[in-house]
Amino acid sequence: MSNPTDKNDQDVIDFGFQQIPKQEKEHRVAGVFHSVADKYDVMNDLMSFGIHRLWKKATVDLCSIRKGQKILDLAGGTGDLTAKFSRLVGEQGRVILADINDSMLKVGRSKLRDKGLINNIDYVQANAEALPFADNYFDCITISFGLRNVTDKQKALASMHRVLKPGGRLLVLEFSKPQHALLNKAYDLYSFHVLPVMGKVIANDADSYRYLAESIRMHPDQEKLRQMMLNAGFNDVKYYNMTGGIVALHRGFKF
């Protein structure tokens, strides 16, 4: 006979530091990103002091993208990585900017069209847990600062593995666990006291940026995420700590 406590544990999930019914998380996360979409890029620059651009450049460099390839920029938001991929794959390649949130996709589409990037980019509203693409389709998948918001991360990683070609690679860029005690303490102070104030002043939304800080703390650390990728079928999984482990870039291959 099953234990009622076990069943309850299976039916709830974290939303920041809260425990909520699992079926509510997607809706709650959607509300966060609908709220911040218009100010998302501005806040990224301010809260990371512009360093997010270096993290994303490192991600692109490790993708080893070539002309003509098919790339999935998952949870791609406002399209920072898609813009870089579009130029790298050229006219014969294809980049799909996918996000579960239509507000973020609209901002991304508008920004990329303003840059004149229209010929090799498609836009798809998609849930990472059930990607609407054929098996063995993409040469490379990236998910940048999006995995922590997914309800079932293990299911999403398996879905990514399915749509990658043999020889393809997945890169996960995500906030992680700082590797030094003093940095970790300073990061906590910044995250829980400064970020919500910035969110209130810039985006008129302190709660969403409080959730951001909490969701980072609830996300699997470097080694745990590496193991999750291995469990999903990826091989040769390695991670690279950046800015003292505030962010980690994981890369795995489908053999």
pLDDT band, very low/low/confident/very high, at 10 (cuts 50, 70, 90): low
The whole-number average pLDDT for the span 194-223 is 89
Query: What does the alpha-carbon distance between residue 147 and residue 152 come to, in Å, rounded to a whole number?
Result: 9
Q: Residues 94, 67: contact at Cβ < 8 Å?
A: no
Output the pLDDT for position 234. 98
Average of pLDDT values for 89-104? 95
At residue 7 the predicted structure's pLDDT band, cuts being 50, 70 and 90, is very low
Stretch 28-34: mean pLDDT: 80
pLDDT band at 28; cut points 50, 70, 90:
confident
E strand segments, 64-163: 70-74, 94-99, 121-125, 138-144
Q: Residue 65 falls within a domain, yes or no?
A: yes
Distance from C-alpha of 178 to C-alpha of 98, rounded to nearest angstrom: 29
> Taking residues 18-34, what's their average pLDDT?
85
Say how many Å lie between the first and final Cα of the chain, rounded: 40
Among 11-15, 71-75, 228-232, the range scoring the smallest mean pLDDT is 11-15
Q: Residue 9: its pLDDT value, please?
A: 55
Q: Return the top range by mean pLDDT from 40-44, 71-75, 204-208.
A: 71-75
Confirm or deny that 184 is annotated as ligand binding.
no
pLDDT at 6: 44
Instruction: Write the CATH number for 102.
Output: 3.40.50.150
Question: What's the total number of domains in the chain?
Answer: 1
128 pLDDT higher than 50: yes
DSSP string, 1-55: ---HHHHHHHHEEEETTEEEEGGGHHHHHHHHHHHHGGGHHHHHHHHHTTTHHHH
Residues found in the chain = 255
Going by pLDDT thresholds of 50, 70 and 90, the confidence category of residue 3 is very low
- Count of other CB atoms within 10 angstroms of residue 8: 10
**8 A C-beta contact, residue 219 and residue 174:** yes
What pLDDT shows up at residue 37? 77
Sign of the Cα pseudo-torsion (49, 52, 57, 58, in order): positive
Is 99 annotated as contributing to ligand binding? yes
Q: Is the per-residue pLDDT at 179 higher than 50?
A: yes
Residue 16 lies in a domain: no
- Residue 24 in any domain: the answer is no
Percent of the chain with pLDDT over 90: 72
Q: For residue 255, give the amino acid letter.
A: F
d(CA 144, CA 166): 22
Question: Residues 197, 30, 36, CA angle at the centre, nearest 5°?
Answer: 35
Q: Does residue 128 belong to any structural domain of this protein?
A: yes
38 domain-assigned? yes
Domain assignment present for residue 9? The answer is no
Q: How many CB atoms lie within 10 A of CB 95?
A: 29
pLDDT tens digits for 131-178?
999 999 999 999 999 999 999 999 999 999 999 999 999 999 999 999
* 8 inside domain: no
> What pLDDT sits at residue 15?
86
pLDDT at 1 over 70: no
* Average pLDDT of the chain to the nearest whole number: 91
Q: pTM of the prediction?
A: 0.89
CA distance 186 to 27: 32
Q: Where are the beta strands (DSSP E) in the chain?
A: 12-15, 18-21, 70-74, 94-99, 121-125, 138-144, 164-175, 235-242, 247-253
8 is in an annotated binding site: no
Please check whether residue 15 lies inside any domain of the structure: no
Residue 186 confidence (pLDDT) = 94
Domain that holds residue 39: 34-179+211-253
